[in-house]
Amino acid sequence: MSSITLALFTLTSAWTPFLQPLGLKRPDNALVLILPLVFAIALTYKTLKLESLDRLLVETCRLSVYIMALIALAAGVLYVVVEWV
């Protein structure tokens, strides 16, 4: 058995997509998945909102940054409330 086949077998036998959740050693790292989620939300919104799709990517990136900034701000406020109030 070649090493590639062995590696594929190990990978596929270790994790079955859709039937098993994503196996992350540190579940807190899963928060990184918020980034593509925010991008997808912004992309859908801007696709419907813009009259012309010429500036879709730029507008989507801008909205994604706004949303992430607001999430960070909300996280900061909640941290202050929880820790200090």
Partner 1 sequence: MNDTAPETKTRVPWPLAALATWLLPGLGHWLIGERQRGAIVGITLVGMFLVGLIVGGIDVVDQRRDPLWFAGQVMIGPLGVGTAFYHRHLDRVGLPSPPPPAPAYEVSVGRINELGTLYCTLAGVLNLMVILDAAGRADQVGRSRKQPLGGRPQRT
**Residues found near partner 1 in the complex (CB under 8 A):** 17-22, 24, 27-28, 30-31, 33-34, 36-37, 40-41, 43-45, 47-48, 51-54, 56
Handedness of CA 69, 70, 74, 77 (dihedral sign): positive
Write down the least CB distance from residue 69 to partner 1, Å: 19
Distance CA 6, CA 79 (A): 47
Q: How many angstroms separate the CA atoms of 59 and 27, rounded?
A: 31
Nearest residue (CB) to partner 1, 10 versus 47: 47
Retrieve residue 60's tokens. Answer: 């989507």
Nearer to partner 1, 27 or 76 (CB): 27
Question: Measured from the CB atom, is 1 or 22 closer to partner 1?
Answer: 22
